[in-house]
Amino acid sequence: MSAAALWPWLEPAARWTALLVIATGFAESFLYFVQLMVAARALVRHVPIRRSAAMWRLYSDVAPPIALLVPAYNEESTIVDSVRSLLSLQYPAFEVIVVNDGSTDLTLETLIAAFGLGQISRSYDPAVEHAPLRGLYGSPSYPNLVVLDKENGGGKADALNAGINLSRAPLFCAIDADSILEPDALFRAVQPFIDDPAHTVVAGGTIRVINGCRVNAGRVVEVGLPRRFLPLVQTIEYLRAFLMARVAWSEMRALAIVSGAFGIFRRSAAVAVGGYSRDTVGEDFEIIIKIRRRMQEERKAYAIRFVPEPVCWTEAPESLAALKGQRVRWQRGSLETFFKHWRVLFSPRYGRLGLVAMPNTFLIDVLGPPVQLLGYLLLPAFWAMGALSLDYMLAFLALTFVYGVFVSVGSLILEEIELRRFLTARDLTRLLLAAVAENFGYRQLNNWWRVVGWWRFLRSAEGWGDMTRIGFRKE
C-alpha cells in the first residue's frame, strides 16, 4: 500500500502528534524569549562592583568562612593548577578540602609531591553518609589545604558528602577539580550571604570554558577562544545557560539548579536534607530541589541566588565521545531528579518550585527531547505523504533556525553587557559564526544524545563514565 493510500488512516493520529510537537516547540520558544528579556532587564539594572580592592574594603570584615570542597577522580593533569588557583584566592578565611575519590591514576601522589603533604589526624562530624576514608593529608606550608583520601563512592555526590563532614565552616563551596576560579570569585559569589544572611541558603556563579585560554600558576592570564569547533560551540551554550537562563530564573525567584562546578551552600541546609544524594548522577540539581522542597514544607523564608560576576573556568570536552557522555549523563540526572520529586509538579504548596521551576523541567527535559526528535521525523514523513508542502516545511525550518540564532546572539550581547571577557572583534566574530553554525547539525546531535539519556534512564543504567582531561594551556 502506498504512502498516499495510508494517509487517511494515519491522519487523525498524525494531526494530534503534530499539534503536540507544535505546542511544545511554541512553549519552549516563548520560555526562552521570556528568559532573554528578564535576564537583559536584570543585567541592565545590575551595577556590579568592578574593582576587587573595593570589594575587599567593603566585605572583608563580614565575609563568613568558607570550606572549598574539591572532588577529584583521575584528575592528575589539572589538579595541581586547580589547587594553586584556590589557595591564591582573595578571601579572608577559607580552607581547601580536596577529596580524592579512589582515583586510579596518580592524582593523590601528584598532590603529595606538589604540596609536600604528609598524613595527619583530625576529628570530624559524620553528619552525612559516604564511602570509607583511607587517609588524611596536610602540610605546615599550606595550613588551609587538606587532602582527604577515600574509597570510590560511585560518583561526585559521595566525595562531596565526605567533604561536608570534614568541613568546619558555616558555608561550603563545591568546585570541580578541573576548574579554576578567578581571584575574587569567592568574594563576589558570597555577596548574597552577606547582604541577606538570614535567608540565603545557596548561591552560584558563572561557568566559562577554559579551552583556548592561557593558564599560569593556577590563574587564567589570557582569555582566548577554543580553536576546535566542539568547545567553541560549548562556549555559546554556557553563555546561554548562565547569562540568560540562570540570571532569569534567579530574578524570578525560581532558580532550581546551581552548577556543581561552582556553588556556595549553607552547610546546615545541606546537612538537613542528608547532603548530596548518591543514587543520581544529577546531584547538583537534586540537592537544590531537596533544599527548596524542605524549606517550602517547613514554611521558611529562603533565597537561592545566582551572581553573574564570579567566574569559574572549566575544561569542556573536545571529543564527540566525551561530549556525548556528558550530555547523556546530564539528561539522566535531570530525569532522575524530576521523577524522584514529581509530586511537586504543579503543587501550590511548593510555591515557585512547584508552579514554575518543575514545569520548566517537565517541558525542557522530560517532553523536549522525544518531542523534538518526533518533529524531525514527522516533517519529512508528512512531506513524503503529500500532507505538507515543501515551501511550508522549508519556511518552518528557516524560522526554527533563525530563532535559535537570535537566542544565541542575545546571550552574546548579555555577555558584553555584564562580563566583557572577550576583548577583540575577532573573538566576537568567531562566536557569532559559531552561534549560527550550531543550529545546523550540532543542536540536532545534542537532542539525539538527550534521547539516548532518556533511554539510559529507562534502562536504569548507572555510572558516571569517564571525562578525558587534556590539561590547561600553560604559559
| pLDDT score, position 291 | 97
| pLDDT score, position 475 | 46
- Which amino acid is located at 361 in the chain? T
Question: CA quadruple 118, 122, 127, 130: dihedral positive or negative?
Answer: positive
- Cell representation of residue 201: 541558603
- Which amino acid is located at 328 in the chain? V
Residue where the block lists cell 569559574: 312
C-alpha torsion angle, residues 365, 333, 257, 246 (rounded to 10) = -50
Residues sharing a CB contact under 8 Å with residue 313, sequence separation 6 or more, in sequence order: 179, 180, 181, 182, 207, 208, 209, 210, 213, 220
pLDDT digits (tens, 9 = 90+) for 136-194: 999 999 999 999 999 998 889 999 999 999 999 999 999 988 788 888 899 899 999 99
Going by DSSP bridges, is the β-strand pair 142-150/200-209 parallel, antiparallel, or unpaired? unpaired
CA distance 132 to 150: 6
**How many separate helices (H) and strands (E) can be counted in the chain?**
18, 13
Is the pTM higher than 0.85? The answer reads: yes
Segments of the chain assigned to CATH 3.90.550.10 = 48-344
- Which amino acid is located at 39 in the chain? A
Q: Which CATH class is domain 48-344?
A: alpha beta
CA distance 140 to 121: 13
- Could you state, in chain order, the average pLDDT of each consecutive group of 10 residues for the chain (475 residues)? 55 70 81 89 78 77 94 89 88 95 94 95 91 94 95 92 95 89 90 94 93 84 90 91 91 93 95 94 94 96 91 91 95 95 96 95 93 81 70 73 79 70 75 87 92 92 54 52
CA distance 268 to 159: 18
Q: Residue 203: beta bridge partners? A: 264, 305
- Cell representation of residue 121: 589526624
Residue where the block lists cell 532550581: 256
pLDDT digits (tens, 9 = 90+) for 25-42: 788 888 888 998 998 888
- Cell representation of residue 112: 603529595
| pLDDT score, position 331 | 95
